[in-house]
């Protein structure tokens, strides 16, 4: 799926037949199996993302493929292995591709294909945010907005496996009870709406669990200000998205009297910073694959779509209140 200019995805993305390039000595020929449509993919096509591939570009930053053939200098991969992108910008919305070996990470082929296809962005983001900003122990709590997003679903499950409680904020919607039920089934301890954040009932939640030391923000605007009220003094809020397209409003008192910290996180930058630190990357991937094998981390709710139906999938991925991720089966 190729785009030659930036613009609205359904208008600029086209399905094209291209020749597979010749296999170089350090290259790997991959048959793609499945690739999701993420918000960052859409932003890249629109031209609004901070890092953009040169045009024309193949869409998709995430997915899983199977190795068909390797160049004669490739040591770490062999035919039959499953691989995912090592970095953003690989262009995963294709049936086949030839990539340099260092652009791929091997993953176990005994995990479900949808888990592997959605592994490199959202679960990694959730894992790093839970690990890198506050040293959380079993019994501690975390609060997050956009809890039904793919990152939100991963946060709930990874926290649950570590004994960390989650308070999950979602927007009010027609099928709210159904959504709450789904998040509770994933292991959420509490699910509240944005409106509830400013109601006295929030105090009841903190009778049974401590106030959070960590808040994860994907929205911005009012939602963020309301979440901040519930953070412990010296707590940290990590912003990794801005769905409301509004700035963060922080009361001065939150800084002075409660000494709250505001941080940002971008998985792409983390990967760049750790490009030479393969141990950290391997340890994270290993921990996530272990959780998947034990049934403690599932793929997000997915709708599987054939490559031919890509336009409908692109449009569906941009609708509000859709809790299901579009996955292209290749």
Q: Residues of 45-55 as b/e, b for ≥16 C-beta within 10 angstroms? A: bbeebeeebee
Same domain, 89 and 137: no
Q: Which residue has the higher pLDDT, 130 or 220?
A: 130
Q: Predicted confidence band at 140 (pLDDT cuts at 50, 70, 90)?
A: very high
The pLDDT > 90 percentage for the chain reads 78
Q: Which domain holds residue 193?
A: 125-267
pLDDT band at residue 175 under the 50/70/90 scheme = confident
Average pLDDT over residues 110-128: 95
141 shares a domain with 92: no
Q: CA-CA-CA-CA torsion for 24, 19, 327, 152, nearest 10 degrees? A: 40
Integer Cα distance of 42 and 45 in angstroms: 5
Whether 105 and 132 share a structural domain: no
Q: What are phi and psi of 308, to 5 degrees?
A: -60, -30
Q: What is the rounded CA–CA span in Å between residue 138 and residue 163?
A: 4
Residue 52 domain-assigned? yes
pLDDT for 226 beyond 70: yes
3-state secondary structure at position 202: helix
Same domain, 177 and 209: yes
| Phi–psi pair at 208, nearest 5 degrees | -105, -20
Which residue do the tokens 């709450």 mark? 180
Segments in the chain forming alpha helices (H): 9-12, 39-46, 113-117, 122-132, 150-161, 176-186, 202-208, 222-228, 252-256, 267-273, 278-293, 310-317
Which pLDDT belongs to residue 282?
92
Average pLDDT of the residues of the chain: 93
At residue 321, does pLDDT exceed 80?
A: no
Distance, in Å, from the CA atom of 143 to the CA atom of 114, rounded to the nearest integer, reads 27
The number of CA neighbours under 13 Å toward the Cβ of 323 is 17
Confidence of residue 190 (pLDDT cuts 50, 70, 90): very high
pLDDT tens string 18-51: 999 999 999 999 999 999 999 889 999 999 988 8
pLDDT at 187: 96
Number of domains in the chain: 2
Residue pLDDT, tens place only, 236-264: 999 999 888 888 888 899 999 999 999 99
CATH of the domain at 166: 3.40.50.720
Q: For residue 101, what are the CA distances in angstroms to 19, 78, 105, 229, 274?
A: 20, 11, 8, 47, 17
Same domain flag for 263 and 204: yes
Whether residues 184 and 210 fall in one domain = yes
Average pLDDT over residues 281-301: 94
Asked whether residue 18 is assigned to any structural domain, the reply reads yes
Rounded distance, CA 32 to CA 82, Å? 9
The per-residue pLDDT for range 63-91, each reduced to its tens digit, is 999 999 999 999 999 999 999 999 888 99
Check whether residue 58 and residue 182 sit in a common domain: no
Q: Is pLDDT at 323 greater than 70 in this prediction?
A: no
Q: Mark whether 261 and 134 lie in a shared domain.
A: yes
Q: Are residues 92 and 197 in the same domain?
A: no
CATH code of the domain in which 97 resides: 3.90.180.10
Counts for the chain of helices (H) and strands (E), in that order: 12, 18
**Statement to judge: residues 129 and 261 lie in one domain:** yes
Decide if 292 is inside a domain: no
Coil, strand or helix: which one is 256? helix
pLDDT at 136: 96
137 and 113 both lie in a single domain:
no
For the question of whether the overall pTM of this predicted structure is more than 0.75, the answer is yes
pLDDT at 51 (0 to 100): 84
pLDDT at 320 over 80: no
Which of the residues are catalytic? 49
For the chain, the farthest-separated pair of C-alpha atoms sits apart, in whole angstroms, at: 66
The pLDDT-based confidence of 16 (bands split at 50, 70, 90) is very high
My answer on whether 81 and 144 are in the same domain is no
């Amino acid at each position: 799926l190729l785009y030659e200019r930036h613009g609205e995805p359904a208008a600029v993305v086209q399905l094209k037949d291209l020749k597979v390039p010749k296999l170089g000595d350090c290259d790997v020929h991959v048959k793609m199996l499945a690739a999701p449509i993420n918000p960052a993919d859409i932003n890249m096509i629109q031209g609004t993302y901070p890092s953009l591939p040169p045009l024309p570009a193949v869409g998709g930053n995430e997915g899983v493929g199977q190795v068909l053939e390797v160049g004669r200098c490739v040591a770490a991969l062999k035919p039959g292995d499953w691989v995912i992108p090592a970095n953003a910008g690989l262009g995963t919305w294709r049936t086949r591709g030839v990539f340099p070996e260092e652009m791929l990470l091997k993953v176990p082929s005994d995990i479900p294909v949808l888990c592997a296809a959605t592994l490199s962005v959202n679960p990694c983001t959730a894992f790093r945010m839970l690990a890198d900003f506050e040293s959380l122990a079993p019994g501690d709590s975390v609060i997050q907005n956009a809890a039904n997003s793919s990152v939100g679903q991963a946060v709930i499950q990874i926290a649950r496996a570590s004994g960390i409680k989650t308070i999950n904020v979602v927007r009010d919607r027609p099928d709210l009870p159904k959504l709450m039920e789904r998040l509770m089934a994933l292991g959420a301890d509490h699910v509240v709406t944005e409106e509830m954040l400013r109601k006295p009932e929030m105090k009841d939640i903190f009778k049974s669990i401590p106030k959070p030391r960590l808040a994860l923000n994907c929205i911005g605007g009012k939602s963020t200000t309301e979440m901040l009220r519930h953070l412990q003094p010296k707590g940290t809020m990590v912003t990794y998205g801005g769905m409301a397209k509004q700035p963060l409003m922080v009361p001065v008192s939150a800084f002075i009297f409660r000494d709250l910290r505001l941080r940002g996180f971008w998985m792409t930058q983390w990967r760049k910073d750790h490009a030479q630190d393969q141990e950290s990357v391997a340890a994270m991937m290993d921990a996530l694959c272990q959780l998947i094998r034990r049934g403690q981390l599932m793929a997000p709710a997915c709708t599987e779509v054939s490559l031919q139906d890509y336009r409908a999938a692109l449009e569906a991925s941009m609708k509000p209140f859709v809790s299901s991720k579009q996955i292209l089966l290749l």
